[in-house]
Amino acid sequence: MTDIYDVMAKITALDTDSIEQARARQAQLTKPAGSLGRLEEVAVQMAGITRSVTPIVQRRAVVVMAADHGVTAEGVSAYPKDVTPQMVLNFLAGGAAINALARQAQADVTVVDIGVAADLEHPQLLSRKVRRGTANMAREAAMSQAEVLQAITTGIEVMENLAAQGVDLVATGEMGIGNTTAASAITASLLNVPAEHVTGRGTGIDDQQLTHKVRIIEQAIAHNVPDVEQPLDVLAKLGGLEIAGLVGVILAAAAHRIPVIIDGFISSAAALVAVALAPAARDYLFAGHLSVERGHRLILEKLGLEPLLTLHLRLGEGTGAVLAMHIIEGALRTHSEMSTFAEAGVSDKEA
Protein backbone atom coordinates (compact mmCIF):
# COMPACT_ATOMS: atom_id res chain seq x y z
CA MET A 1 0.00 0.00 0.00
CA THR A 2 1.13 3.53 -0.80
CA ASP A 3 2.73 5.33 2.14
CA ILE A 4 1.92 9.03 2.07
CA TYR A 5 5.15 9.82 3.89
CA ASP A 6 7.17 8.12 1.11
CA VAL A 7 5.36 10.28 -1.44
CA MET A 8 6.01 13.45 0.57
CA ALA A 9 9.70 12.57 0.86
CA LYS A 10 9.95 12.46 -2.95
CA ILE A 11 8.88 16.09 -3.33
CA THR A 12 12.01 18.13 -3.94
CA ALA A 13 12.83 21.74 -4.78
CA LEU A 14 12.47 23.02 -8.35
CA ASP A 15 15.46 22.54 -10.67
CA THR A 16 17.55 25.73 -10.49
CA ASP A 17 19.60 24.96 -13.65
CA SER A 18 16.47 24.71 -15.79
CA ILE A 19 15.10 27.86 -14.16
CA GLU A 20 18.26 29.83 -14.98
CA GLN A 21 18.36 28.57 -18.56
CA ALA A 22 14.68 29.34 -19.08
CA ARG A 23 15.23 32.88 -17.72
CA ALA A 24 18.19 33.32 -20.09
CA ARG A 25 16.01 32.17 -22.98
CA GLN A 26 13.24 34.61 -22.03
CA ALA A 27 15.81 37.45 -22.16
CA GLN A 28 16.67 36.57 -25.78
CA LEU A 29 13.13 36.33 -27.20
CA THR A 30 11.90 38.99 -29.64
CA LYS A 31 9.98 41.20 -27.22
CA PRO A 32 10.83 43.98 -24.81
CA ALA A 33 12.32 42.46 -21.64
CA GLY A 34 9.56 41.47 -19.22
CA SER A 35 6.76 42.37 -21.63
CA LEU A 36 5.01 39.01 -21.36
CA GLY A 37 4.58 39.63 -17.64
CA ARG A 38 3.30 36.65 -15.72
CA LEU A 39 3.53 34.41 -18.78
CA GLU A 40 7.30 34.65 -18.42
CA GLU A 41 7.17 33.63 -14.77
CA VAL A 42 4.84 30.74 -15.58
CA ALA A 43 7.22 29.43 -18.28
CA VAL A 44 10.20 29.69 -15.94
CA GLN A 45 8.35 27.91 -13.12
CA MET A 46 7.26 25.19 -15.54
CA ALA A 47 10.92 24.72 -16.54
CA GLY A 48 11.88 24.30 -12.88
CA ILE A 49 9.06 21.82 -12.30
CA THR A 50 9.70 19.65 -15.36
CA ARG A 51 13.52 20.00 -15.52
CA SER A 52 13.13 21.00 -19.18
CA VAL A 53 14.21 24.39 -20.52
CA THR A 54 11.36 24.39 -23.06
CA PRO A 55 8.59 22.30 -21.49
CA ILE A 56 5.61 21.12 -23.49
CA VAL A 57 2.26 19.79 -22.32
CA GLN A 58 1.11 16.61 -24.00
CA ARG A 59 -1.69 15.30 -21.86
CA ARG A 60 -4.01 17.25 -19.60
CA ALA A 61 -6.42 15.94 -17.00
CA VAL A 62 -8.80 17.25 -14.39
CA VAL A 63 -9.52 15.07 -11.38
CA VAL A 64 -13.00 15.64 -9.96
CA MET A 65 -13.25 14.13 -6.48
CA ALA A 66 -16.83 13.71 -5.26
CA ALA A 67 -18.10 13.09 -1.74
CA ASP A 68 -20.92 13.91 0.66
CA HIS A 69 -20.85 15.88 3.90
CA GLY A 70 -22.69 14.99 7.10
CA VAL A 71 -22.76 18.66 8.02
CA THR A 72 -25.45 19.24 5.36
CA ALA A 73 -27.89 18.07 8.10
CA GLU A 74 -27.34 21.51 9.67
CA GLY A 75 -28.70 23.37 6.64
CA VAL A 76 -25.47 24.98 5.40
CA SER A 77 -26.03 24.78 1.62
CA ALA A 78 -28.60 26.32 -0.71
CA TYR A 79 -29.00 22.95 -2.49
CA PRO A 80 -30.02 19.47 -1.29
CA LYS A 81 -27.35 16.83 -0.77
CA ASP A 82 -28.90 14.68 -3.52
CA VAL A 83 -27.22 17.05 -5.98
CA THR A 84 -23.85 15.40 -5.26
CA PRO A 85 -24.65 12.01 -6.87
CA GLN A 86 -26.82 13.68 -9.51
CA MET A 87 -23.92 15.88 -10.57
CA VAL A 88 -21.54 12.90 -10.61
CA LEU A 89 -23.84 11.31 -13.20
CA ASN A 90 -23.95 14.61 -15.08
CA PHE A 91 -20.11 14.69 -15.19
CA LEU A 92 -20.11 11.14 -16.55
CA ALA A 93 -22.68 12.07 -19.19
CA GLY A 94 -20.57 15.06 -20.23
CA GLY A 95 -23.18 17.69 -19.35
CA ALA A 96 -21.57 19.78 -16.61
CA ALA A 97 -19.61 23.04 -16.93
CA ILE A 98 -16.38 21.17 -16.31
CA ASN A 99 -17.08 18.84 -19.25
CA ALA A 100 -17.56 21.73 -21.68
CA LEU A 101 -14.41 23.48 -20.50
CA ALA A 102 -12.38 20.27 -20.45
CA ARG A 103 -13.41 19.52 -24.04
CA GLN A 104 -12.22 22.99 -25.03
CA ALA A 105 -8.90 22.50 -23.23
CA GLN A 106 -8.55 18.90 -24.46
CA ALA A 107 -8.35 17.64 -20.89
CA ASP A 108 -9.52 14.21 -19.73
CA VAL A 109 -12.10 14.31 -16.93
CA THR A 110 -11.46 11.71 -14.24
CA VAL A 111 -14.41 11.40 -11.86
CA VAL A 112 -13.77 9.71 -8.53
CA ASP A 113 -16.45 8.62 -6.05
CA ILE A 114 -14.34 8.92 -2.92
CA GLY A 115 -17.29 9.13 -0.55
CA VAL A 116 -20.68 9.78 -2.10
CA ALA A 117 -23.43 8.46 0.18
CA ALA A 118 -25.54 6.94 -2.61
CA ASP A 119 -24.67 3.88 -4.67
CA LEU A 120 -23.23 4.94 -8.00
CA GLU A 121 -22.21 2.83 -10.91
CA HIS A 122 -20.85 3.82 -14.28
CA PRO A 123 -18.12 2.31 -16.46
CA GLN A 124 -16.14 5.57 -16.41
CA LEU A 125 -16.53 6.22 -12.67
CA LEU A 126 -13.61 5.41 -10.40
CA SER A 127 -15.47 3.88 -7.43
CA ARG A 128 -13.22 4.44 -4.43
CA LYS A 129 -15.67 5.08 -1.59
CA VAL A 130 -13.80 5.49 1.69
CA ARG A 131 -17.13 5.86 3.49
CA ARG A 132 -20.64 7.03 2.61
CA GLY A 133 -20.14 10.71 3.31
CA THR A 134 -18.47 12.24 6.33
CA ALA A 135 -20.04 12.41 9.79
CA ASN A 136 -21.58 15.73 10.85
CA MET A 137 -18.58 17.73 12.06
CA ALA A 138 -20.82 19.94 14.19
CA ARG A 139 -21.31 16.91 16.45
CA GLU A 140 -18.33 14.59 15.90
CA ALA A 141 -15.14 14.18 13.90
CA ALA A 142 -15.95 14.13 10.18
CA MET A 143 -13.56 11.21 9.64
CA SER A 144 -11.19 8.97 11.57
CA GLN A 145 -7.43 9.21 11.13
CA ALA A 146 -7.52 5.90 9.22
CA GLU A 147 -10.17 7.26 6.85
CA VAL A 148 -8.31 10.48 6.15
CA LEU A 149 -5.17 8.49 5.35
CA GLN A 150 -7.16 6.18 3.08
CA ALA A 151 -8.68 9.16 1.24
CA ILE A 152 -5.27 10.78 0.72
CA THR A 153 -3.84 7.46 -0.44
CA THR A 154 -6.72 7.13 -2.90
CA GLY A 155 -5.84 10.53 -4.37
CA ILE A 156 -2.20 9.51 -4.63
CA GLU A 157 -3.12 6.33 -6.48
CA VAL A 158 -5.45 8.15 -8.88
CA MET A 159 -2.69 10.66 -9.68
CA GLU A 160 -0.06 7.95 -10.06
CA ASN A 161 -2.26 6.18 -12.61
CA LEU A 162 -2.69 9.41 -14.55
CA ALA A 163 1.07 10.01 -14.44
CA ALA A 164 1.62 6.48 -15.79
CA GLN A 165 -0.75 7.33 -18.67
CA GLY A 166 1.41 10.33 -19.55
CA VAL A 167 -0.63 13.14 -17.97
CA ASP A 168 1.76 16.08 -17.56
CA LEU A 169 -0.61 18.86 -16.47
CA VAL A 170 -3.33 18.27 -13.91
CA ALA A 171 -6.19 20.37 -12.56
CA THR A 172 -8.02 19.76 -9.28
CA GLY A 173 -11.81 19.63 -9.17
CA GLU A 174 -14.47 18.61 -6.65
CA MET A 175 -18.16 18.04 -6.14
CA GLY A 176 -19.78 17.74 -2.74
CA ILE A 177 -22.77 19.66 -1.44
CA GLY A 178 -21.67 21.20 1.85
CA ASN A 179 -18.00 21.30 0.99
CA THR A 180 -17.56 25.06 1.30
CA THR A 181 -18.44 24.54 4.99
CA ALA A 182 -15.65 21.97 5.34
CA ALA A 183 -13.21 24.14 3.39
CA SER A 184 -14.02 27.19 5.54
CA ALA A 185 -13.56 25.21 8.76
CA ILE A 186 -10.18 23.88 7.58
CA THR A 187 -9.09 27.35 6.49
CA ALA A 188 -10.17 29.04 9.74
CA SER A 189 -8.19 26.43 11.70
CA LEU A 190 -5.01 26.35 9.63
CA LEU A 191 -4.85 30.14 9.15
CA ASN A 192 -5.95 30.74 12.74
CA VAL A 193 -8.57 33.31 11.72
CA PRO A 194 -12.22 33.70 12.81
CA ALA A 195 -14.61 31.48 10.81
CA GLU A 196 -16.51 34.59 9.78
CA HIS A 197 -13.51 35.85 7.78
CA VAL A 198 -13.32 32.75 5.60
CA THR A 199 -16.95 31.71 5.25
CA GLY A 200 -18.90 32.62 2.14
CA ARG A 201 -22.20 31.88 0.47
CA GLY A 202 -21.14 28.72 -1.39
CA THR A 203 -24.00 27.78 -3.72
CA GLY A 204 -25.83 30.99 -2.79
CA ILE A 205 -27.22 31.10 0.77
CA ASP A 206 -28.84 34.29 2.15
CA ASP A 207 -27.57 36.49 5.00
CA GLN A 208 -29.41 34.57 7.70
CA GLN A 209 -28.16 31.21 6.44
CA LEU A 210 -24.63 32.63 6.24
CA THR A 211 -24.75 33.63 9.91
CA HIS A 212 -25.97 30.13 10.73
CA LYS A 213 -23.19 28.55 8.62
CA VAL A 214 -20.56 30.55 10.52
CA ARG A 215 -22.05 29.37 13.84
CA ILE A 216 -21.97 25.75 12.69
CA ILE A 217 -18.30 26.08 11.72
CA GLU A 218 -17.49 27.68 15.07
CA GLN A 219 -19.36 24.85 16.79
CA ALA A 220 -17.48 22.21 14.78
CA ILE A 221 -14.12 23.73 15.69
CA ALA A 222 -15.06 24.19 19.36
CA HIS A 223 -16.39 20.65 19.61
CA ASN A 224 -13.58 18.82 17.78
CA VAL A 225 -10.65 20.98 18.97
CA PRO A 226 -8.43 20.17 15.97
CA ASP A 227 -4.69 20.39 16.64
CA VAL A 228 -3.69 23.21 14.28
CA GLU A 229 -0.10 21.97 14.28
CA GLN A 230 -1.32 18.66 12.80
CA PRO A 231 -2.82 19.21 9.34
CA LEU A 232 -4.09 15.62 9.23
CA ASP A 233 -5.95 16.11 12.50
CA VAL A 234 -7.59 19.27 11.13
CA LEU A 235 -8.49 17.47 7.90
CA ALA A 236 -9.92 14.41 9.66
CA LYS A 237 -12.03 16.36 12.14
CA LEU A 238 -13.36 19.05 9.81
CA GLY A 239 -13.59 16.85 6.88
CA GLY A 240 -14.08 16.49 3.31
CA LEU A 241 -13.25 13.11 1.79
CA GLU A 242 -12.90 14.86 -1.59
CA ILE A 243 -10.65 17.48 -0.02
CA ALA A 244 -8.45 14.73 1.42
CA GLY A 245 -8.43 13.01 -1.97
CA LEU A 246 -7.20 16.22 -3.58
CA VAL A 247 -4.44 16.48 -0.97
CA GLY A 248 -3.25 13.12 -2.29
CA VAL A 249 -3.50 14.26 -5.92
CA ILE A 250 -1.41 17.35 -5.15
CA LEU A 251 1.25 15.45 -3.21
CA ALA A 252 1.61 12.73 -5.86
CA ALA A 253 1.73 15.25 -8.73
CA ALA A 254 4.51 17.20 -7.00
CA ALA A 255 6.38 13.97 -6.29
CA HIS A 256 6.21 13.16 -10.03
CA ARG A 257 7.23 16.73 -11.00
CA ILE A 258 3.84 17.32 -12.61
CA PRO A 259 2.43 20.86 -12.37
CA VAL A 260 -0.93 21.15 -10.60
CA ILE A 261 -3.49 23.87 -11.29
CA ILE A 262 -5.55 24.55 -8.21
CA ASP A 263 -9.16 25.52 -8.78
CA GLY A 264 -11.22 27.61 -6.33
CA PHE A 265 -11.74 27.79 -2.58
CA ILE A 266 -12.28 24.10 -1.90
CA SER A 267 -9.32 22.95 -3.96
CA SER A 268 -7.24 25.64 -2.28
CA ALA A 269 -8.16 24.30 1.16
CA ALA A 270 -6.71 20.98 -0.05
CA ALA A 271 -3.58 22.81 -1.26
CA LEU A 272 -3.27 24.48 2.14
CA VAL A 273 -3.24 21.07 3.83
CA ALA A 274 -0.85 19.58 1.24
CA VAL A 275 1.66 22.42 1.65
CA ALA A 276 1.37 22.27 5.46
CA LEU A 277 2.34 18.58 5.17
CA ALA A 278 5.03 19.03 2.48
CA PRO A 279 6.13 22.68 2.04
CA ALA A 280 8.11 21.86 -1.12
CA ALA A 281 4.84 20.99 -2.89
CA ARG A 282 4.00 24.71 -3.06
CA ASP A 283 6.29 25.39 -6.01
CA TYR A 284 4.45 22.80 -8.15
CA LEU A 285 1.18 24.73 -7.83
CA PHE A 286 -0.51 27.31 -10.00
CA ALA A 287 -3.61 29.13 -8.74
CA GLY A 288 -6.03 28.88 -11.66
CA HIS A 289 -8.33 31.68 -10.57
CA LEU A 290 -9.62 33.77 -7.70
CA SER A 291 -13.00 32.52 -6.52
CA VAL A 292 -15.79 34.75 -5.27
CA GLU A 293 -15.93 32.60 -2.14
CA ARG A 294 -14.80 34.56 0.89
CA GLY A 295 -11.56 33.19 2.23
CA HIS A 296 -10.03 32.17 -1.07
CA ARG A 297 -7.80 35.24 -1.22
CA LEU A 298 -6.48 34.57 2.29
CA ILE A 299 -5.45 31.02 1.35
CA LEU A 300 -3.71 32.19 -1.80
CA GLU A 301 -1.88 34.89 0.17
CA LYS A 302 -0.76 32.32 2.72
CA LEU A 303 0.50 30.07 -0.07
CA GLY A 304 2.11 32.99 -1.91
CA LEU A 305 0.14 32.22 -5.08
CA GLU A 306 -1.26 34.81 -7.45
CA PRO A 307 -4.35 33.68 -9.37
CA LEU A 308 -3.99 33.46 -13.15
CA LEU A 309 -7.60 34.50 -13.79
CA THR A 310 -10.23 36.58 -12.03
CA LEU A 311 -13.59 35.72 -13.59
CA HIS A 312 -15.90 35.88 -10.54
CA LEU A 313 -16.42 32.13 -10.70
CA ARG A 314 -17.92 30.33 -7.70
CA LEU A 315 -18.58 26.90 -9.09
CA GLY A 316 -15.74 24.53 -8.35
CA GLU A 317 -15.61 21.23 -10.33
CA GLY A 318 -12.19 22.35 -11.59
CA THR A 319 -13.67 24.95 -13.96
CA GLY A 320 -11.27 27.82 -13.23
CA ALA A 321 -8.28 25.50 -13.17
CA VAL A 322 -9.09 24.04 -16.59
CA LEU A 323 -9.62 27.53 -18.03
CA ALA A 324 -6.16 28.46 -16.73
CA MET A 325 -4.63 25.61 -18.75
CA HIS A 326 -4.96 27.88 -21.79
CA ILE A 327 -2.90 30.56 -20.06
CA ILE A 328 -0.20 28.13 -18.99
CA GLU A 329 0.02 26.72 -22.49
CA GLY A 330 0.17 30.24 -23.90
CA ALA A 331 3.14 30.83 -21.63
CA LEU A 332 4.83 27.65 -22.88
CA ARG A 333 4.04 28.34 -26.54
CA THR A 334 5.57 31.80 -26.50
CA HIS A 335 8.52 30.55 -24.47
CA SER A 336 9.41 27.72 -26.83
CA GLU A 337 8.11 28.90 -30.23
CA MET A 338 9.26 32.53 -30.33
CA SER A 339 12.46 33.40 -32.18
CA THR A 340 15.40 34.98 -30.41
CA PHE A 341 16.69 38.39 -31.47
CA ALA A 342 19.66 36.67 -33.16
CA GLU A 343 17.50 34.10 -35.01
CA ALA A 344 15.07 36.72 -36.33
CA GLY A 345 17.63 39.42 -37.04
CA VAL A 346 15.79 41.84 -34.75
CA SER A 347 17.84 44.46 -32.94
CA ASP A 348 18.00 43.96 -29.16
CA LYS A 349 17.87 46.79 -26.64
CA GLU A 350 20.94 49.07 -26.85
CA ALA A 351 23.52 48.08 -24.26
Ligand X SMILES: Cc1cc2ncn([C@H]3O[C@H](COP(=O)(O)O)[C@@H](O)[C@H]3O)c2cc1C
Ligand Y SMILES: O=C(O)c1cccnc1
Is-contact 294 197, C-beta < 8 A?
Answer: yes
Residue 202 or 231: which CB sits closer to ligand X?
Answer: 202
Q: What does residue 84 show for φ and ψ, rounded to 5 degrees?
A: -60, -60
Contact between residue 171 and residue 325 where contact means Cβ atoms under 8 Å apart: yes
Bridge partners, residue 169, by sequence: 60
| Binding interface with ligand Y (CB under 6 A) | 180, 202-203, 263-266, 291, 293, 296, 314-316
Residue 179 found at the interface with ligand X (CB under 6 A): yes
In the complex, minimum distance from the CB of residue 113 to ligand Y, in angstroms, rounded to a whole number: 18
Q: How many residues bind ligand X (CB under 6 A)?
A: 18
Q: What is the CA radius of gyration of the chain?
A: 20
Q: Which is nearer to ligand X, 53 or 260 (CB)?
A: 260
Q: How far is the CB of 327 from ligand X (least distance, A)?
A: 22
Q: How far is the CB of 87 from ligand X (least distance, A)?
A: 5
Which of 74, 147, 174, 317 is the catalytic position? Answer: 317
Asked whether 170 and 62 are in contact (CB, 8 A), the reply is yes
Select 18 or 179, whichever has its Cβ closest to ligand Y: 179
Nearer to ligand X, 180 or 189 (CB): 180
Tell me if residue 329 is catalytic: no
128 contacts 113 by C-beta, under 8 angstroms: yes
Site stretch for ligand X (CB under 6 A), options 143-151, 173-181, 222-230, 279-287: 173-181
CB 68 within 8 A of CB 177: yes
Distance CA 351, CA 349 (A): 6
178 binds, among ligand X, ligand Y, none (CB under 5 to 8 A by kind): ligand X
CB of residue 78 to ligand X, shortest distance in Å: 6
User: Which of ligand X, ligand Y, none lies near 177, with the C-beta cut-off 5 to 8 A by kind?
Assistant: ligand X
When the beta carbons of 49 and 241 are compared against ligand Y, the nearer one is 241
Q: Considering only residues 87, 107, 234, 278, which one is a binding residue for ligand X as defined by CB under 6 A?
A: 87
Q: Smallest distance, Å, CB 2 to ligand Y?
A: 26
Collect all residues with Cβ–Cβ distance below 8 Å to 11 and sequence separation of at least 6.
251, 254, 255, 278, 280, 281, 284
Q: What residues contact 214, with CB distance under 8 A and at least 6 apart?
A: 195, 196, 199
Classify 240 as helix, strand or coil.
coil
Whether residue 200 contacts residue 267, with contact meaning beta carbons closer than 8 Å, is answered with: no
| Residues carrying an active site annotation | 317
Q: Would you tell me which residues interact with ligand X (CB under 6 A)? A: 77-79, 83, 87, 174-181, 202-203, 315-317
